[in-house]
Chain A
Amino acid sequence: MSTVVSTPTEKRVIPDRLGTPFKRIMSSWEVLLFGVAVVIFIFNSLASPYFLDAWNLSDATFNFTEKAMIAFAMALLVISGEIDLSVAAIIALASTAMGAAAQAGVGAPGLVAIGVGVGLLCGMFNGFLVSVMKLPSIVVTIGTMSLFRGISYIVLGDQAYGNYPEDFAFFGQGYVVWVFSFEFVLFIVLAILFAILLHATNFGRQVYTIGNNDFAARFSGIPVERVKFILFMLTGVMSGIASVCLTSRLGSTRPSIAQGWELEVVTMVVLGGVSILGGSGKIGGVVIAAFVMGLVTFGLGLLNVPGIVMSIFIGLLLIITIAIPIIARRIKAMSSK
């Protein structure tokens, strides 16, 4: 038999990274979005004298903090290749549960536990249907969305719960220091925690891999179903937390609470640079997107633009920010021919 064919090679040294960090950062989605945010900020301050006021800006944050909390968890879910359209319905159900408990005299800590607990249970139900039963998440969560809000309607009908204990109002209406509300601080803390989870832990790496190639993740020993189940639970918990904040802020509960929020949350996620197809996106982008959406709604609110017209701007923003890189790429491809 022949001998081993070994070709002598010099040791090939492969660099760890290419290019400079500066170039890499400058061409990212997050920077583009940040630019948009700056433009909107400037525009708003020019358009209305009330804009550049610390307390007004603080009020503005309420526009997006609750949705952003959910968006963080939703971002991870979307990166893994799934989606959860039932988040707003979970808010409603959790709120209804809290309202019922409040009627029964439960105090603020108990209410928080119930709100978050209901969110967790709903998330587990979604997780069960998608991970264990292997059902497509988009239609399943359309179903659970109707189911969860439907339960709220059964309990409340066209009534409302009020009578929340006084200290419960802190979550949605309280301030931690100066103009920074509890909600805002919570939003920042959660942003940091989720960023660490997604970008610095093994779990986050697994999420990215699953979104990039479900098969390869499985073939590499990643427990895909378990990860997705956890993500749905996380989304549920965040919806529960958001529900606590929102209910506390409004001081009441109707079954129609947070109607339409699921689409706003998804908009925030996609606007933040997370690909709806999965596999890419950063928490930083979602944070900036939250600010952008908050700035737009608040600025337009100062100009007395009705809410529903504001959503035109949000819709346009979503489509334009997705379209621009695609068009830019096409132009580049065409000019290089």
Chain B
Amino acid sequence: MNNALQHPVASVATNDVPAILEMRGISQIFPGVKALDNVSIALYPGKVTALIGENGAGKSTLVKILTGIYRPNEGEILVDGKPTTFANAQAAIDAGVTAIHQETVLFDELTVAENIFLGHAPRTRFRTIDWKLMNSRAKALLTSLESNIDPTIRLKDLSIAQRHLVAISRALSIEARIVIMDEPTAALSRKEIDDLFRIVEGLKAQGKAILFISHKFDELYEIADNFAVFRDGRAVGHGNLKATPQDEIVRMMVGRDVENAFPKIDVAIGGPVLQVEKYSHQTEFRDISLTLRKGEILGIYGLIGAGRSELCQSLFGITKPLSGKLTLNGREISINSPLDAIRAGIVYVPEERGRHGLALPMPIYQNMTLPSLGRTSRKGFLKAANEFALARKYAERLDLRAAALSVPVGTLSGGNQQKVVIGKWLATMPKVIILDEPTKGIDIGSKAAVHGFISELAAEGLSIIMISSELPEIIGMSDRVLVMKEGLSAGLFERKDLTPETLVRAATGNA
């Protein structure tokens, strides 16, 4: 069925307008991982193409190829029908490709105008940069987007929504023909999203082709014309979005019914283990209270910037709380450092496992034994045999796939890296385990395994806090869900009341 995707046209092109940009048979191979496998996609002028897929499906790799950061191992890119190679980022920019990323990749210390015009600033007669002209042009672009941002202030003083506007202005300034938007609505308020969509309509009217990456179906159905679904690095579906029901899209994304992805075991929930009372942080969250019970999975849902990770990092001792009380198994504790938390039996599996959870160049077994060195060593001296034994035990338990325990953990796939992190913490025999987006960036196969494993842990009597932005995951796995919005608690929901609408409404504050 997927063979027909050699040249994706047909249902998508209207009036036989040719594609501005086409990718055919693109493959991208990294050591140990095939990020993209024979992928084809076409972008048409004046149309928004939604790129849909779970984390790990290959979307951001595609974006990096389109923006000239990576060169594909196989396949070709055609711009206006002509085969082109993007030798570097500048070549992609010259071809009219621009991208707006989730976290805008721009320069905090430079001014708004300079961010818009970096690399193609207007010049004076003497070939020097014409700041006055640059500032006025920047102002004009921002005004056309109905924004009154002052082009002479530094980027670091702007909000995320304002940064997106700057990035869009940049796209307009290079007269981009292809605009890639990667999860642009994360951390935007409803009004800001409306503003953004209005701008997107404006870009469409100018004949630009837009690639819109998002998880949020309601937004996609609002703004997108076509869609392409990726799964495990392959393009598994494409077509007219409005003519395709959401269930079908989800099925393409996940590959099977959503139900089976969340093997939740019914667990007898015990008494309270961790009580958090009015936990507050200087800037990130305020007055959060929750009770975590034995064997329970407590989900925490919310938009980016809601303060979920910050709350959990504070519970783990990475940052100090301003005020609040913690009670663990009836005893009041205070946690001021990760060491305190580990000793108390609270552990944290970070969202950015590569950046915060693992030392990638170091071997698997060394990563796994890191917080447990007290137990594997003798009087402060390392004992390799003990370390390997511990690593082996948890590698087996988690069904880790690796060439050897001594290879650098950075060579493993995302799912296996996650297993190393989880294994590392399980080895410390914790009481409470906090998981921050546990299946982010993991392929579907491993996702189900991770979920099954989490359920097993709950059944064994561990208490689990799980931060997730994926509704199916959080609804499928949690016994209760705490919703956070802009640093405050927006409701605690029992399992029987969990519906996507309830959670989204609470998280966005929309009636």
A and B touch in the complex (CB under 8 A): yes
- List residues of chain A with CB under 8 Å of any chain B CB: 1-7, 9, 11-12, 14-18, 200-205, 208-209, 212-213, 215-223, 279-280
Q: Which residue of chain A has the shortest Cβ distance to B395 in the bound complex?
A: A14
Which of A17, A213, A223 meets B337, CB within 8 Å?
A: A223
27 A-B residue pairings within 8 Å (CB atoms):
A2-B259, A4-B265, A11-B396, A12-B396, A12-B399, A14-B400, A14-B402, A15-B405, A17-B406, A18-B404, A18-B407, A201-B382, A203-B380, A208-B359, A208-B362, A209-B362, A212-B360, A216-B355, A216-B357, A216-B359, A217-B359, A219-B356, A220-B371, A221-B339, A221-B341, A221-B342, A280-B361
Query: What CA separation (Å) do A66 and B448 show in the bound complex?
Result: 59
Query: What CA separation (Å) do A202 and B366 show in the bound complex?
Result: 11
Q: Do A5 and B260 touch across chains, with their CB atoms under 8 A apart?
A: yes
Query: What CA separation (Å) do A207 and B67 show in the bound complex?
Result: 38
Query: What CA separation (Å) do A200 and B392 show in the bound complex?
Result: 20
Instruction: Say how far B347's CB is from chain A's closest CB, in angstroms.
Output: 9
Instruction: Say how far B377's CB is from chain A's closest CB, in angstroms.
Output: 5
Q: Do B263 and A3 touch across chains, with their CB atoms under 8 A apart?
A: yes
Q: Which residue of chain A has the shortest Cβ distance to B347 in the bound complex?
A: A221
A6-B452, A17-B405, A18-B404 as given contacts; A201 in contact with B381, CB under 8 Å: yes
A2-B260, A200-B381, A213-B360 as given contacts; A219 in contact with B406, CB under 8 Å: no
Q: Do B360 and A16 touch across chains, with their CB atoms under 8 A apart?
A: no
Q: Is B91 an interface residue (CB 8 A)?
A: no
Q: Is B431 an interface residue (CB 8 A)?
A: no
Within B298-342, which residues are at the interface with A (CB < 8 Å)? 316, 318, 337-339, 341-342
Which of A3, A14, A223 meets B392, CB within 8 Å?
A: A14
Instruction: Say how far A29's CB is from chain B's closest CB, in angstroms.
Output: 15
Q: Do A218 and B318 touch across chains, with their CB atoms under 8 A apart?
A: yes
Q: Do B361 and A212 touch across chains, with their CB atoms under 8 A apart?
A: yes
Q: Do B265 and A215 touch across chains, with their CB atoms under 8 A apart?
A: no
Instruction: Say how far A333's CB is from chain B's closest CB, in angstroms.
Output: 13
Q: Do A12 and B401 touch across chains, with their CB atoms under 8 A apart?
A: yes
Instruction: Please indicate the chain B residues that have their CB under 8 angstroms from the CB of A219 in the complex.
Output: 316, 318, 338, 348, 350, 356-357
Instruction: Please indicate the chain A residues that have their CB under 8 angstroms from the CB of B395 in the complex.
Output: 14
Q: Do A218 and B338 touch across chains, with their CB atoms under 8 A apart?
A: yes
Contact with A along B225-239 (1 / 0, CB 8 A): 000000000000000
Instruction: Please indicate the chain A residues that have their CB under 8 angstroms from the CB of B260 in the complex.
Output: 2, 5
Instruction: Please indicate the chain A residues that have their CB under 8 angstroms from the CB of B360 in the complex.
Output: 212-213
Q: Do B365 and A9 touch across chains, with their CB atoms under 8 A apart?
A: no
Within B359-404, which residues are at the interface with A (CB < 8 Å)? 359-362, 365-366, 370-371, 373-374, 377, 380-382, 388, 392, 395-396, 399-404
Query: What CA separation (Å) do A225 and B367 show in the bound complex?
Result: 20
Q: Is B489 an interface residue (CB 8 A)?
A: no
Q: Which of B337, B359, B380, B401 gathers most chain A CB within 10 Å?
A: B359
Q: Do B377 and A202 touch across chains, with their CB atoms under 8 A apart?
A: yes
Q: Do B361 and A279 touch across chains, with their CB atoms under 8 A apart?
A: yes
Instruction: Say how far B388's CB is from chain A's closest CB, in angstroms.
Output: 5
Instruction: Please indicate the chain A residues that have their CB under 8 angstroms from the CB of B382 in the complex.
Output: 200-202, 204-205
Q: What secondary structure prevails in chain A residues at the interface with B?
A: loop
Closest 6 CB pairs of A and B: A212-B359, A4-B263, A213-B359, A221-B338, A18-B404, A202-B373
Query: What CA separation (Å) do A3 and B452 show in the bound complex?
Result: 10
- List residues of chain B with CB under 8 Å of any chain A CB: 259-260, 262-266, 316, 318, 337-339, 341-342, 348, 350, 355-362, 365-366, 370-371, 373-374, 377, 380-382, 388, 392, 395-396, 399-407, 424, 448-449, 452, 455
Query: What CA separation (Å) do A121 and B403 show in the bound complex?
Result: 48
Query: What CA separation (Å) do A203 and B362 show in the bound complex?
Result: 16
Query: What CA separation (Å) do A6 and B451 show in the bound complex?
Result: 11
Query: What CA separation (Å) do A279 and B266 show in the bound complex?
Result: 45
Q: Which residue of chain B has the shortest Cβ distance to A279 in the bound complex?
A: B361
Q: Do B263 and A9 touch across chains, with their CB atoms under 8 A apart?
A: no
A1-B264, A216-B358, A223-B339 as given contacts; A17 in contact with B404, CB under 8 Å: yes
Q: Do B403 and A18 touch across chains, with their CB atoms under 8 A apart?
A: yes
Q: Do B361 and A2 touch across chains, with their CB atoms under 8 A apart?
A: no
Instruction: Say how far A50's CB is from chain B's closest CB, in angstroms.
Output: 44
Query: What CA separation (Å) do A9 and B397 show in the bound complex?
Result: 11
Query: What CA separation (Å) do A203 and B373 show in the bound complex?
Result: 10
Q: Which of B355, B399, B406 gathers most chain A CB within 10 Å?
A: B406
Q: Do A220 and B338 touch across chains, with their CB atoms under 8 A apart?
A: yes
Q: Do A16 and B359 touch across chains, with their CB atoms under 8 A apart?
A: no
Query: What CA separation (Å) do A209 and B359 show in the bound complex?
Result: 6
Instruction: Say how far A322's CB is from chain B's closest CB, in angstroms.
Output: 18
Instruction: Please indicate the chain B residues that have their CB under 8 angstroms from the CB of A201 in the complex.
Output: 377, 380-382
Q: Do A216 and B356 touch across chains, with their CB atoms under 8 A apart?
A: yes
Query: What CA separation (Å) do A8 and B238 show in the bound complex?
Result: 34
Instruction: Please indicate the chain B residues that have their CB under 8 angstroms from the CB of A5 in the complex.
Output: 260, 263, 448, 452
Instruction: Please indicate the chain A residues that have their CB under 8 angstroms from the CB of B388 in the complex.
Output: 16
Instruction: Say how far B408's CB is from chain A's closest CB, in angstroms.
Output: 10
A16-B404, A219-B357 as given contacts; A205 in contact with B366, CB under 8 Å: yes
Instruction: Please indicate the chain A residues that have their CB under 8 angstroms from the CB of B348 in the complex.
Output: 219
Query: What CA separation (Å) do A204 and B380 show in the bound complex?
Result: 10
Q: Do A18 and B370 touch across chains, with their CB atoms under 8 A apart?
A: no
Instruction: Say how far B365's CB is from chain A's closest CB, in angstroms.
Output: 7
Instruction: Say how far A132's CB is from chain B's closest CB, in angstroms.
Output: 15
Instruction: Please indicate the chain A residues that have their CB under 8 angstroms from the CB of B374 in the complex.
Output: 202
Query: What CA separation (Å) do A203 and B370 show in the bound complex?
Result: 11
Q: Which of A6, A201, A218, A221 gathers most chain B CB within 10 Å?
A: A221
Q: Given A205-B382, A220-B370, 19 other A-B contacts at CB below 8 A?
A: A2-B260, A3-B263, A4-B455, A5-B448, A15-B405, A200-B381, A200-B382, A201-B377, A201-B382, A205-B366, A205-B370, A208-B359, A208-B362, A209-B362, A212-B359, A213-B358, A219-B316, A219-B338, A219-B356
